[in-house]
Amino acid sequence: MALLEIEKLNVSIKGTPILRDVGLGVDAGEVLGVVGESGSGKSMTAMAIMQLLPVGTEWNGAVRLGGKALETFSEKDMCALRGNEIGMVFQEPMTALNPVQTIGDQVAETILVHSGKSRREARRIAREALNRVGLPEDRFPLDRYPHDLSGGQRQRVVIAMAIALRPKLLIADEPTTALDVTTQAQILKLLKKLVDEDGMGMILITHDLAVVADMADHIAIMKDGEVVEAGDTVTLFREMKHPYTRSLFEASNHVPSRNPVNVPGRGKPVIEVSGVVRDYPLPRRSLFSAPGHFRAVDHVSLAIGRGENVGLVGESGCGKSTLTRAILALDPVQSGEIKLDGGVFSTHGHGPDRDMRRRVQVVFQDPYSSFNPRHRVDRLIAEPFFLLDEQPDREERHRRINEALVNVGLQPSDAHKYIHEFSGGQRQRIAIARALIIEPSLIVLDEAVSALDVSIRAQILDLLADLSDRLAISYLFISHDLSVVRAITDRVLVMKSGKVVEEGLTEDVFRNPRHPYTKELLAATPVLDEALKAREARAAASGLGASS
């Protein structure tokens, strides 16, 4: 009998169906990967198991945990079950912990709520749980507050809370999506170790096929509230019976085809950054000492030619955002020089004028919060016009708005709509249209596809490649996602602690990384094909072992 069995689970919110006839099963000691894009209902399935659905949600179906029918459980029974027999880990470690309680108290609370143990005993068990997740006592005493910890460390605390009572089932909802690749690798390894040690069943919810291929024994693919395909990991990926599985697979490995047209001046340097330094002041250590500073960007140089796409990768805190802000002239530089189209763009004590500013545009990560919701699309994308000395007249304005919209694959009629009428992918197209409209020399793409689903991401990458081919626009493509950088860029720079540690043609760097940090980054990046091969090799080895 399976540890968890879900049959014909239906969930609806105010009459709108969210989940339809979902059926899943997890065995003890096994990992089930639930994969899908946003809105596919994968998180809702997890919340239905926990019975923590939003107010106004109706559900029916069978959810059995170790033979117990949870659909018959009262709220009180569920409270006794949550945290005790089912632990849960969430996506966003930065906000998942109570900021005003120590980590010790928060882990101990799980134990106190479920057992009659004394506070002392609960703290002892909490200590053990924190040790198990790799937060040793000497560096992480119980009285630390969450704000002292990094994202990965906080996620470890959340995991400690979830496994403190050694539950039978652990649900991890996108546990590593908000983390850097090396941290992701560590957290996944930890989860795997805990599953093996405790014989837990685990449901791993993710949008990342490579992660799931590495971690899960079985996979369920969800789309629009339904499980479209389920099965053993290797078989599922090797056969890919359902067209949606196939399209997900293709989208996540998508490399846009390039076909650059000959534009005069292609390859001529657009932006030249030389020896740029950005310091942040630190608080004074005492009243009389001079304030120290933190060097976020340390003598960085780079150059991008016309029509060239350059990637900038590195983990959070490496200085890539600070460098971006300096290139956008949002922050002054302390030393060094940035040249644009041969003229001085920004140096110490000197920023660009309006005309220069116009020629560098940016597309940000979050398509939901980077637009004013009260303006129509035409006004939103025509916003950069104020950087022009001569405002275009009505007709010209109209023409250019239409052109920008058509360029990014939207309709001229979309100009009169509001931003909430568009999906995430369409919004990102509008953000690109806004950057394009005044014909910049350089577009900075700051994690511009990181928040998008794989299928949408593939479309946006195609669009970017097409624009670069046709219009010879240069991109500085900043991302923590190495596979995307590999797909779209010609050259790549790897940044660590404010310095560029490796630079070269993208394919060369990915094939033959020279710097140990680049090697570490690449090793930590999950790759679907390799994960599958490793899995098959393991299966073959154990099969041999069984037969011999």
Which sign, positive or negative, has the C-alpha torsion 499, 504, 505, 507?
Answer: negative
Query: What's the min distance (Å) between Cβ of 114 and other proteins?
Result: 6
Query: What's the min distance (Å) between Cβ of 537 and other proteins?
Result: 36
Dump strand ranges (E) for 218-308: 218-223, 226-232, 269-281, 293-305
| Binding letters toward other proteins, positions 110-129, x by CB under 8 A | x--xx---------------
The reply to whether 103 sits near other proteins by the rule CB under 8 A is no
Strands, sheet with 57-65, edge to edge from the N-terminal-most edge strand: 16-26, 4-13, 57-65, 68-69
Output the CA angle 147-173-536, nearest 5 degrees. Answer: 120
Which C-beta is closer to other proteins: that of 155 or that of 428? 155
| 67 Ramachandran zone, left/alpha/beta (phi>0; psi -120 to 50) | left
Count interface residues toward other proteins (CB under 8 A). Answer: 35
Q: Return the range that interacts with other proteins (CB under 8 A); candidates 89-97, 305-313, 361-369, 456-464.
A: 89-97
The reply to whether 505 sits near other proteins by the rule CB under 8 A is no
Give the burial string for 131-156 (b: 16+ CB within 10 Å, else e).
ebbbbeeeebebebebeebebbbbbb
Which of 3, 35, 81, 492 binds other proteins (CB under 8 A)? It is 81
Which of 87, 175, 256, 352 binds other proteins (CB under 8 A)? It is 87
The CA distance from 138 to 127, in Å, is: 11
Which C-beta is closer to other proteins: that of 97 or that of 209? 97
Query: What's the min distance (Å) between Cβ of 192 and other proteins?
Result: 21
The reply to whether 153 sits near other proteins by the rule CB under 8 A is no
Interactions with other proteins, residue window 16-55 (CB under 8 A): 50, 52
The reply to whether 161 sits near other proteins by the rule CB under 8 A is yes
Q: Return the range that interacts with other proteins (CB under 8 A); candidates 75-83, 271-279, 449-457, 520-528.
A: 75-83
Mind giving me the DSSP string for 374-438? Answer: TSBHHHHHTGGGGGSSS---HHHHHHHHHHHHHHTT--GGGGGSBGGGS-HHHHHHHHHHHHHTT
For 421-452, the three-class secondary structure string (H helix, E strand, C coil) is HCCHHHHHHHHHHHHHCCCCCEEEEECCCCCC
Which C-beta is closer to other proteins: that of 92 or that of 226? 92
Which of 27, 71, 109, 279 binds other proteins (CB under 8 A)? It is 109
442 residue type, one letter: L
Query: What's the min distance (Å) between Cβ of 164 and other proteins?
Result: 9
277 φ/ψ angles, rounded to the nearest 5 degrees: -125, 135
The CA distance from 493 to 313, in Å, is: 6
DSSP 3-state of 477? strand
The reply to whether 82 sits near other proteins by the rule CB under 8 A is yes
The CA distance from 464 to 432, in Å, is: 9
Give, as one character, the DSSP assignment of residue 525: S
Q: Do residues 493 and 476 touch, judged by C-beta distance below 8 A?
A: no
Which of 4, 19, 88, 444 binds other proteins (CB under 8 A)? It is 88
Which of 261, 282, 505, 539 binds other proteins (CB under 8 A)? It is 282
Which of 48, 162, 340, 380 binds other proteins (CB under 8 A)? It is 162
Which C-beta is closer to other proteins: that of 7 or that of 128? 128
Which of 7, 21, 38, 101 binds other proteins (CB under 8 A)? It is 101
Q: Return the range that interacts with other proteins (CB under 8 A); candidates 76-84, 223-231, 419-427, 436-444.
A: 76-84
Question: Which residues would be at the binding site for other proteins (CB under 8 A)?
Answer: 50, 52, 75-76, 79-84, 87-88, 90, 92, 95-101, 109-110, 113-114, 145, 147, 158, 161-162, 281-284, 291
